[in-house]
């Protein structure tokens, strides 16, 4: 059994987690302070998003020095103490390696700008006339993916913000530098790594316009990606650790290769197809209702496909780039608690390692910001302008941001009902969501029926029933587009998981498996409505889990 199959990872966005010095910005000491809370929840690993020195144009994903702690988050001593304290409680720290690009403030890029050929070769510089970028590729944050440097008469590639210059992985020196970064943090006792947009690191050999899209088909899962990952893993020995790659617009076949242990690339992958079922024709900035039939189809394809190919999924709903799941596929109102529990069940009992994003275990909602001044994210601010340039009114642009902005996941962690939700004694860098008086950790830890305790139960269940970590998965036809059901099986144990995404009742007619309805044959081990209810009627957002022993 792989070590990471039984684990649950908790993602912390330090800037918004807990501020201990009153500057309004969460810090490393804040994470240390809350370790007992995480231990109580039961998680095994803590993934910290970047806290390295950075101009913070993209909240730390623009790294200026990979081997440092930005003073806004604390000191290297604070970090060492965090690792020690986590270790004492049996939890490991995972770090976020942003290796597709550096900040333009990085020493390497600064040398490149001065025309040093050695460092220019660390990045992707191309010749083309001023005003005519080398290709028509579009940055993920909007606008051209190329920036012209007049003093060099060259363009550099930035798939993200203009201050995030893409590294040239073809250059072996770049690969060595990045391996050293891994070595540095390994030596500090870090237990795992998350690799940011890592399937974008291998760029094509020829540079051409994309006449069908924004360019992604040329650099996604690029020509040398598997080689590079194998080399990185081999030379740093991280195959002993837990590693996860963030895979942007990837394919099932590639994810099987990234995560099949025989390939010695990564432990597991994040893919995002299931989080685009509410994008209109794949467009993030066009609102449409979630298509649950498509959601089920994608889960089935990926879950069953990864099992067939021997790959391993990171399973998740939320992260710092996504709106809050309860606001998105659940209900912020009457069925807030039930829908949050249903969504948790759906993910935690699938085949893969579950990731919980801070506050998800409390059912935290979208930010509910009403004005542009509340937003902080570079992508949101860019698209607020772009949407209006495309003809949307200010109000329409705000409505779209309200549903899609990454800031929805970045509001401060809601610890208690006190000022700023107990996140800071000062002024938070981004406003607290105004429902913190009811949705907060203190209240939920007191309430045995809370979302917090439900997550705790799901995590404990994974450790008790090996079928959750190791069993196979098979999706059932439910005859209803918004009711999902799957079976987990390992030869001894069988689980049936039923999840309704419907905001109203659903009558279960065909489930393909009748044993769930026979109390003699199966035991209901988990439900989000207290009494379990009538077997053939699913209440709004109802979930039930049945277990049958051989
Ligand atoms: C990943 C990160 C995101 C960041 C981007 C560029 O998608 O999760 O926050 O903006 O990479 O580094
Ligand atoms: Ca602080």
At 59-102, the pLDDT tens digits run 999 999 999 999 999 999 999 999 999 999 999 999 999 999 99
Q: How far apart are CA 228 and CA 266, in angstroms?
A: 11
Element (H, E) at 495: strand 493-500
SS (H, E, C) 137-178: CECCCCCECEEEECCCCEEEECCCCCCEEEECCCCHHHHHHH
Pocket residues for ligand 1 (CB within 6 Å)?
58, 61, 98, 160, 196-197, 246, 320-321
Instruction: Give the pLDDT band (50/70/90) at residue 520.
Output: low
- What DSSP designation does 128 have? -
The pTM for the full model equals 0.97
Q: Which atom of ligand 1 is nearest to the CA of 321?
A: 9
pLDDT (tens digit per residue) in 277-324: 999 999 999 999 999 999 999 999 999 999 999 999 999 999 999 999
Predicted confidence (pLDDT) at residue 513 exceeds the cutoff of 60? no
Is the pLDDT assigned to residue 486 strictly greater than 60? Answer: yes
- For ligand 1, what atom is nearest to the CA of residue 58? 10
Nearest to 322 by CA among 280, 388, 270: 270
What residues have their beta carbon closer than 5 A to ion ligand 2?
A: 19, 21, 23, 25, 27
Tens of pLDDT along 250-283? 999 999 999 999 999 999 999 999 999 999 999 9
Report the alpha-carbon distance of residue 323 to residue 318 in Å, rounded: 7
pLDDT confidence band for 511 (50 / 70 / 90): low
Q: Which of 196, 361, 444, 542 is catalytic?
A: 196
pLDDT in tens, 157-187: 999 999 999 999 999 999 999 999 999 999 9
Of 7, 443, 531, 59, which is closest to residue 268 (Cα–Cα)?
7
Q: pLDDT above 70 covers what percent of the chain?
A: 97
């Amino acid at each position: 059994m792989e070590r990471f199959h039984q684990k649950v990872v908790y993602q912390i966005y330090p800037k918004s987690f807990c501020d201990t010095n009153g500057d309004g910005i969460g810090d490393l000491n804040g994470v240390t302070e809350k370790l007992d809370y995480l231990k109580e929840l039961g998680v095994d690993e803590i993934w910290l998003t970047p806290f390295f020195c950075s101009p913070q144009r993209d909240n730390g994903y623009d790294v200026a020095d990979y081997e440092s702690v930005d003073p806004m988050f604390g000191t290297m001593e604070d970090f060492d103490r965090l690792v020690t304290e986590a270790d004492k409680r049996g939890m490991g720290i995972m770090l976020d390696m942003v290796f597709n690009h550096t900040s333009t403030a990085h020493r390497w890029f600064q040398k490149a700008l001065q025309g040093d050929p050695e460092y220019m070769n660390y990045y992707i510089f191309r010749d083309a006339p001023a005003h005519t970028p080398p290709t028509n590729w579009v940055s993920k944050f909007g606008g051209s993916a190329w920036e012209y440097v007049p003093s060099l008469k060259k363009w550099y590639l930035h798939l993200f913000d203009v201050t995030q210059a893409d590294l040239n992985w073809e250059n072996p020196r770049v690969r060595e530098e990045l391996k050293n970064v891994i070595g540095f943090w390994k030596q500090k006792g870090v237990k795992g790594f998350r690799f940011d947009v890592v399937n974008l690191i291998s760029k094509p050999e020829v540079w051409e316009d994309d006449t069908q899209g924004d360019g992604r088909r040329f650099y996604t899962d690029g020509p040398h990606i598997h080689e590079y990952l194998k080399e990185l893993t081999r030379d740093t020995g991280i195959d002993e650790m837990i590693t996860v790659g963030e895979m942007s617009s990837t394919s099932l076949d590639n994810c099987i290769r990234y995560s099949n242990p025989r390939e010695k690339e990564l432990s597991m992958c994040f893919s995002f197809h299931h989080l685009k079922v509410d994008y209109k024709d794949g467009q993030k900035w066009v609102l449409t209702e979630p298509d649950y039939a498509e959601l089920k189809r994608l889960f089935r394809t990926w879950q069953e496909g990864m099992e067939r190919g021997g790959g391993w999924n990171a399973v998740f709903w939320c992260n710092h780039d996504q709106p809050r799941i309860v606001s998105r596929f659940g209900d912020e109102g009457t069925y807030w608690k039930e829908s949050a529990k249903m969504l948790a069940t759906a993910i935690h009992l699938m085949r893969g390692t579950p990731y919980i994003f801070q506050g998800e275990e409390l059912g935290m909602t979208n930010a509910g910001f009403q004005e542009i001044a509340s937003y902080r994210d570079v992508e949101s601010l860019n698209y607020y302008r772009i949407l209006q340039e495309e003809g949307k009114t200010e109000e329409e642009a705000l409505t779209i941001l309200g549903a899609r902005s990454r800031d929805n996941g970045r509001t401060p962690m809601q610890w208690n009902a006190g000022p700023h939700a107990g996140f800071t004694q000062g002024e938070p860098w981004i406003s607290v969501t105004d429902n913190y008086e009811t949705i907060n950790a203190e209240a939920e830890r007191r309430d045995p029926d809370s979302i917090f305790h439900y997550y705790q139960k799901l995590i404990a269940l994974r450790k008790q029933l090996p079928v959750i970590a190791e069993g196979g998965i098979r999706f059932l036809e439910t005859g209803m587009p918004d009711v999902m059901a799957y079976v987990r099986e390992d030869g001894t144990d069988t689980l049936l998981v039923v999840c309704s995404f419907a905001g109203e009742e659903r009558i279960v007619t065909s489930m393909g498996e009748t044993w769930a309805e026979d109390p003699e044959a199966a035991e209901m081990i988990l439900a989000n409505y207290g009494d379990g209810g009538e077997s053939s009627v699913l209440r709004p957002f109802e979930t039930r889990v049945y277990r049958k022993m051989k």
